[in-house]
Amino acid sequence: MRQAIVDLYDAYTHSALDRREFLNRLAVLAGGTAAAQLLLPLLESNYARAAVVRPDHRDLVALRVEYEGSRGRLHGYLAHRRDRTGPLPTVLVIHENRGLNPHIEDVTRRLALAGFLALAPDMLSPKGGTPVDEDAARTLIRELDDVAVLADLKASVSWLAARREGNGRVGCVGFCWGGGNANRLATLDARLAAVVVYYGRVPPVGTVPRIEAPLLLHSAGLDARINVGLEAYEQALQEAGKPYTLHRYAEANHAFNNDTNAARYAPAAAALAWDRTLRFLDTHLHA
């Protein structure tokens, strides 16, 4: 698929570009309305492909949970291995700008199967929860207050750290919108023991000295929108003496880990980044 088409879809999913204008521009790039309609299924997420680890996997306990956030109740998805014999290292999973959807629930189960107690909070809980329609979810995400989001994430860290199934050490993994919030959370919550960021916006460089947790940063080489701030972020981390590892996946697009999106999913990069993520979390989250 032409990079210009992928870039257009990225602009549509991360800006105020409305669907009609997106489809009009897509038709121009594709060579007509009919061709654009054929491309749409490749560009949009197909959640029927989300279950790499089935929701009813016999080795897992996966359940809906509810707990107190900063300004009300938060809903989330919690998973861990059924055969656990002691406290588990814990991971907060921060979703993309589509909310807590089947793909993020599947990522949470993947972490659980790997031996972690994993929680994915629904950051759209104050808006009534994540809707099925991903365009509606993106609209609601844009309406969230950044300060409230980060306060809710800190409340999620507190709740996860106190779970009897966990060992009290909390890491986080964020994707896209969630990656940006993982970066921001790292500057605000010294309790975090590890932070993994998949193609997320960088935090204000002036806040970098407040980071305590080691960072693992996954950057998509073709992700011009996000990468614009990456050099300054890396320089600030170096100047502040913060422990971090940055991996660049040269031929990958934004959202390369999302295997429900045929146009942007990069299997080799996703597999390598996931292996690095598990090893990083395993290293830093055991008590």
**Beta pairing class for 215-220 and 166-175:** unpaired
Give me the catalytic one of 10, 223, 259, 284.
Answer: 223
The residue from 14, 218, 254, 284 that is catalytic is: 254
Q: If you ran DSSP here, which 8-state letter would residue 53 be given?
A: S
Ramachandran category for residue 78: left, alpha or beta (phi over 0 → left; psi -120 to 50 → alpha): beta
- What's the CA gap between 136 and 128, in Å, rounded? 12
- Residues 239 and 209: their CA atoms lie apart, in Å, by 9
CA of residue 194 relative to chain centroid, distance: 15
Helix (H, G, I), strand (E, B) or coil at 144: coil
SS3 label, residue 79: strand
Which of 10, 95, 176, 259 is labelled catalytic? Answer: 176
Nearest CA to 52 out of 250, 281, 271, 276 is that of 271
Q: In Å, how far from its chain's centre is CA 22?
A: 24
| Separation CA 21–CA 169 (nearest Å) | 46
- Determine whether 223 is an active site residue: yes
Catalytic amino acids? 176, 223, 254
